[in-house]
Amino acid sequence: MVPTALLVTALLFFAVNGLLGSPAAMMLGQDASPQTIAELDAEYGFDQPLIVQYVRWLGEALRGDLGRSYTTRQSVAQAVGNSLPVTIELAVWSILLATSLAIVLNTIPTARRLITRTTAVVNVVGITVPNFMLGISLIFLFSVELGWLPTTGWAPWSDGVITHLRHIIMPVLTLSSYYFGVFSIVYRAELHAVTRQMFIRVAQAKGLGEWRVAFRHAMPNAILPVITFVGISAGQLTGGAVVTETIFSMPGIGRLFVRSIETHDFPTMLAVGMLIVVSVVLMNLLADIAYTIANPQIRFDP
């Protein structure tokens, strides 16, 4: 984890500084004089070599100091801390909904034939329809036409459970639709291969019921690829729910990242980028650990 995170954050730091140019010039604008830009470069240390700037930035980041926003002068750590809970909750609900439905609906033996066509249609819709189109469609249907849910915005838990859930239902459905399609396709393909293996036939020959064979023997072996996708997706969702958060005006990491790009706010961009990298690496580690829980046969005994 550590070498991967260091390598990717270094590439991120050098790419941001190399592609966007001098942060001082971006902050001051095109009308700034070279002398003013040079003074600001010296004040913030932008005139030093990139490797020196990276080591200093990384050291401060490891101590929890992510700097201050160039535009709002607010602490970047505070801005990230205010936005992160919104994105985490959205990601957790979306991943849980997509994973549980994809596994359960495709594992139930008695209903598999009845839901195959339905899930196939939902898979195609979830994968092919862009998030912004699906989100706008849900707003039009449930907010404009039916008036059941608020169009946009965010309500904390302190405003009441019902109010909070009414604001988060459509964003969760929008974000989970794609992952439900992906998880279903991956899981069904693996489940189809697993059910053709000899140990499944032996379990059936022993007289075990369909439900026990499906959930006790087939599912733990077919779920491993889904765990991999869940780990990657959960890490990406930490900063990847940009479109969904923008459509529904949610004050999460995605919107924070978009604003930092629009205003060329280097510290915020780097902080969110580092957060995404660490999240993806951490979730991959948790996915590896989850393998041993789902399937004891692959546990490592030192």
CA distance 193 to 199: 12
Per the structure block, which two tokens stand in for 244? Answer: 């969904």
Across 122-144, average pLDDT:
82
Task: Please report the pLDDT score of residue 27 as a whole number.
Answer: 66
- Pick the more confident residue, 116 or 261: 261
Q: Work out the pLDDT band at 81, boundaries 50, 70, 90.
A: confident
Task: Please report the pLDDT score of residue 244 as a whole number.
Answer: 82
Lowest-confidence segment of 57-71, 101-115, 145-159 by average pLDDT: 101-115
Rank 61-65, 96-100, 222-226, 267-271 by mean pLDDT and report only the highest. 96-100
Across 63-71, average pLDDT:
78
Whether the pLDDT of residue 1 is over 60: the answer is yes
Above pLDDT 90, what percent of the chain?
A: 0
CATH superfamily, domain 76-298, is MetI-like (1.10.3720.10)
Q: pLDDT tens digits for 140-167?
A: 888 888 888 888 778 888 888 888 888 8
Cα(first)–Cα(last) distance of the chain, in Å? 21
Whether the pLDDT of residue 207 is over 70: the answer is yes
CA distance 97 to 81: 25
Please check whether residue 135 is in contact with residue 247, taking contact to mean a CB–CB distance below 8 angstroms: yes
Per the structure block, which two tokens stand in for 156? Answer: 């904390």
CA distance 132 to 241: 11
Tell me phi and psi for residue 68, to 5 degrees. -120, 145
Tell me which H or E stretch contains 217.
none
Q: Work out the pLDDT band at 297, boundaries 50, 70, 90.
A: low
Task: Please report the pLDDT score of residue 79 as a whole number.
Answer: 84
Task: Please report the pLDDT score of residue 131 as a whole number.
Answer: 78
Task: Please report the pLDDT score of residue 20 as a whole number.
Answer: 64
C-alpha count within 13 angstroms, C-beta hemisphere, residue 143:
18
Rank 145-149, 198-202, 282-286 by mean pLDDT and report only the highest. 145-149
pTM: predicted TM-score of the whole model, two decimal places: 0.74
Q: Work out the pLDDT band at 132, boundaries 50, 70, 90.
A: confident
Per domain, the residue ranges of the chain are: 2-62, 76-298
Across 223-241, average pLDDT:
73
Please check whether residue 195 is in contact with residue 240, taking contact to mean a CB–CB distance below 8 angstroms: no
3-state secondary structure of 200: helix
Classify residue 299 as left (phi > 0), alpha (psi -120 to 50) or beta. beta
Q: Which residue has the tokens 């900063």?
A: 239
Whether the pLDDT of residue 72 is over 70: the answer is yes
Task: Please report the pLDDT score of residue 116 as a whole number.
Answer: 67
Burial of 130 (0-12, 13-18, 19+ CB in 10 A): exposed
Task: Please report the pLDDT score of residue 236 as a whole number.
Answer: 67
Whether the pLDDT of residue 186 is over 80: the answer is yes
Whether the pLDDT of residue 108 is over 60: the answer is yes
